[in-house]
């Protein structure tokens, strides 16, 4: 009886909370749920649903190379959640991860750089706090931007937003958050924030560049298909593992650097790291990964 009453109380509490908080994020929440539903339907049984999702992939390849994914939390691993071969390579790689030294360097930088300790008193919180909508500045603030602002404010020169020191500090934050078991929780506090979200969503779903494709063509409809030998990752869970150690870079890089590369491959001019387009895009992407555990830093191909 007691447990049932507790359960009821918990459910009603969650319901009321979502009623009050869900004024501005209604559309966003709808989008997220729809995406999760779509991806789970796609990857829960690729062979059975081949006619709907993989019409041009031979059944032998589907049987041989794809692994069914039932739980959407697994998409935090991106491509490695459903592709068998790459998953095996990944599991072998993380036995001795190549980014551990960088995390130690990040801790040193965090302690030695002026001002970082005051701006980010709790490193584990910082990784989950951003990107957030700053109600005073009336714009989206990403973690990279916040760190750079902090360094400049305390009399230093701005750091490179793509790699190097900034990636190492972010790696330290992310590692702390992972150890504490933090969950990504992006909020949409007001109508302006909702506008920023819509702007990011528009960027993601609009066609651009000389090939005339949008981000969604590859990462929603095309997720799971191959581009030569590489598989395309699903949109849900795309920001959980940053900063990332890419094997092709042979070093750590921030989310901005990855997005720049991806947009360039798409055949268009990538936006500047602190421009409105980039920040709103990150805001949108992060909201889509809400409810997933922080998994960074991690290794990707």
Partner 1 sequence: MKKIRMRFRAKAKGDIVKVIGLIKHPNLTYIMAKKQHKEVNFLTYIKATHNGEVVYEASTSQFLSKDPVLKFAFKGGKKGDVVEVYVRDLKGNEGTKKVKIK
Residues that are catalytic: 262
Least distance to partner 1 from the beta carbon of 284, Å? 35
Write phi, then psi, for 42 (nearest 5 degrees). -70, -45
Query: And the tokens for 242?
Result: 């940053």
Least distance to partner 1 from the beta carbon of 85, Å? 19
Least distance to partner 1 from the beta carbon of 101, Å? 7
| d(C-alpha 216, C-alpha 221), whole Å | 7
Which residues, at least 6 apart from 18, have a Cβ–Cβ distance to it below 8 Å?
A: none
Which position among 56, 95, 136, 181 is part of the footprint of partner 1 (CB under 8 A)? Answer: 95
What sign for the dihedral angle of Cα 29, 195, 142, 246?
A: positive
Q: Which stretch binds partner 1 (CB under 8 A): 97-105, 109-117, 227-235, 279-287?
A: 97-105
| d(C-alpha 38, C-alpha 12), whole Å | 28
Kindly tell me which of 105 and 192 has the beta carbon lying closer to partner 1. Answer: 105
Bridge-based pairing of strands 244-246 and 251-253 is antiparallel
- Are residues 142 and 131 in contact, defined by beta-carbon separation less than 8 angstroms? yes
Q: Residue 101, interface with partner 1 (CB under 8 A)?
A: yes
Q: Residue 108, interface with partner 1 (CB under 8 A)?
A: no
Which position among 5, 70, 250, 269 is part of the footprint of partner 1 (CB under 8 A)? Answer: 250
Q: Residue 98, interface with partner 1 (CB under 8 A)?
A: yes
Three-class SS of residue 93? helix
Which position among 96, 112, 121, 269 is part of the footprint of partner 1 (CB under 8 A)? Answer: 96
Positions in the binding site for partner 1 (CB under 8 A): 95-96, 98, 100-101, 250
């Amino acid at each position: 009886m007691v447990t049932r009453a507790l359960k009821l109380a918990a459910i009603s509490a969650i319901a009321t909370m979502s009623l009050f908080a869900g004024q501005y994020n209604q559309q966003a929440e709808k989008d997220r749920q729809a995406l999760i539903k779509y991806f789970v339907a796609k990857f829960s049984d690729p062979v059975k649903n081949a006619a709907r999702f993989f019409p041009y992939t031979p059944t032998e390849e589907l049987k041989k190379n794809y692994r069914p994914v039932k739980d959407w939390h697994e998409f935090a691993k991106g491509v490695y959640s459903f592709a068998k071969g790459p998953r095996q390579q990944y599991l072998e790689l993380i036995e001795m991860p190549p980014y551990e030294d960088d995390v130690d360097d990040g801790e040193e930088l965090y302690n030695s750089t002026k001002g970082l300790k005051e701006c980010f008193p709790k490193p584990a919180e910082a990784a989950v706090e951003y990107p957030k909508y700053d109600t005073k500045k009336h714009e989206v603030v990403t973690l990279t931007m916040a760190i750079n602002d902090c360094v400049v404010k305390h009399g230093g020169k701005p750091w490179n937003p793509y790699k190097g020191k900034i990636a190492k500090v972010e790696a330290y934050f992310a590692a702390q958050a992972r150890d504490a078991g933090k969950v990504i929780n992006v909020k949409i506090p007001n109508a302006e924030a909702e506008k920023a979200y819509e702007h990011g969503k528009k960027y993601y779903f609009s066609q651009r560049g000389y090939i005339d494709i949008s981000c969604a063509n590859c990462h929603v409809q095309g997720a799971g298909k191959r581009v030569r030998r590489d598989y395309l990752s699903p949109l849900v869970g795309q920001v959980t593992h940053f900063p990332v150690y890419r094997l092709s870079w042979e070093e750590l890089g921030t989310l901005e650097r990855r997005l720049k590369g991806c947009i360039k491959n798409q055949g268009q001019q990538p936006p500047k790291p602190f421009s409105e387009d980039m920040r709103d895009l990150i805001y949108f992407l992060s909201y889509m990964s809400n409810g997933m555990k922080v998994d960074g830093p991690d290794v990707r191909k």
